[in-house]
Amino acid sequence: MTVHSIAFIGTGVMGRSMAGHLLQAGHTLHVFNRTKPKAQTLLEAGAHWHPTAGEAAAQADFVFTIVGFPTDVEETYFGTDGVLAHARRGSVLVDMTTSSPLLAQRIATAASERGLSALDAPVSGGDIGAKEARLVIMAGGEVEAFNRVKPLLELMGKNIVRHGGPGAGQHCKLANQISIASIMMSWCEALTYAQKAGLDPVRVIESIGGGAAASWSLNHLAPRALKGDFAPGFYVKHFLKDMRLALESAESLQLDLPGLTQAKKLYEEVARRGWEESGTQVLLKLYQEQS
């Protein structure tokens, strides 16, 4: 195996596990996160800390980023202390944040002008997928750069597909979030109905979770929610960001997406109640309180 020098920027709920797989595979890891304690387990395992994203990127042949919002992506890449200003010529930059397709295209153009390659490669699978290296990875960018980085992506995920040029990965991820938005409503409504009808919702999941109504969210997130476990595998605040991005993109494509529109309204109410730092499964709590 070829050992690479890798920068990983963003060591939160998912990034910490993703970076850990690269480190465990024997690669040299350089990390930056706005909150250093979130990188502590990686540092204890042998990763090298850097005070800025740019300084981490300057050490690496491959730079991975997974941060919170498009504004964070913008700062991480285009800031004075950012990746584009400091990355080594010839390195590959891989943004795994769910972000704007247009921003992904801007990063790819700016990278090319500096002798770099850039991919957008957002992920799906949440904290469990990140921990178990079973993420779905949706990539956009040039074929050569994708082929170079794919062996590293395979350390983090099992379903890795390139969908086209710059921005294509983000479009696929937004399609993923559009689907999830309605799925979250569906199982919350189903279980709220079942409880109101006097059924045990856990046993209902045992039945419908093995049939046509089955989904990853129903089988994994619903049981957490029923136990009152709203710890974030994926934050409400980040899901709201994704839905806003998807609606903006849909509007530019002249599409009306009523399911997504309704889900966004419900999650805005979730956030209004102060639950935006919770996991997306907290939506069930909203349904239960309204019923």
For residue 259, the model assigns a pLDDT of: 98
Angstrom distance (rounded) from CA 22 to CA 149? 12
pTM confidence score: 0.94
Name beta bridge partners: 159.
Answer: 136
> Which residues lie below 8 Å from residue 165, measured CB to CB, with a gap of 6+?
108, 140, 141, 142
In a shared domain, residues 180 and 281: yes
Domain boundary among 165, 194, 212: 165
Q: Which two tokens stand for residue 107?
A: 């990063």
Q: Which of 131, 173, 241, 264 is the catalytic position?
A: 173
**Identity of residue 57:** A
Number of domains in the chain: 2
For residue 184, the model assigns a pLDDT of: 98
In a shared domain, residues 128 and 19: yes
- Which is nearest to 278 in space by CA: 241, 226, 225? 225
In a shared domain, residues 14 and 155: yes
- Which is nearest to 267 in space by CA: 285, 248, 255? 285
Which pairs from 270-273 meet CB under 8 Å and 24+ separation? 270/236, 271/236, 271/237, 271/240
In a shared domain, residues 193 and 55: no
In a shared domain, residues 48 and 103: yes
For residue 1, the model assigns a pLDDT of: 72
In a shared domain, residues 161 and 78: yes
Helix H, strand E, coil C: the string for 35-46 is CHHHHHHHHHCC
Question: What residues make up the domain containing 229?
Answer: 171-290
For residue 194, the model assigns a pLDDT of: 97
Counting residues of the chain whose pLDDT is more than 70, the rounded percentage is 100
Residue with tokens 């990983």: 8
Which segments in the chain show pLDDT lower than 70?
A: none
Strand, helix or coil at 126? Answer: helix
Residue 140 DSSP label: B
For residue 126, the model assigns a pLDDT of: 85
In a shared domain, residues 121 and 183: no
Domain boundary among 103, 131, 165: 165
In a shared domain, residues 201 and 140: no
In a shared domain, residues 235 and 283: yes
In a shared domain, residues 229 and 131: no
Angstrom distance (rounded) from CA 44 to CA 20? 11
For this structure, is 173 an active site residue? yes
pLDDT tens profile 65-107:
999 999 999 999 999 999 999 999 999 999 999 999 999 999 9
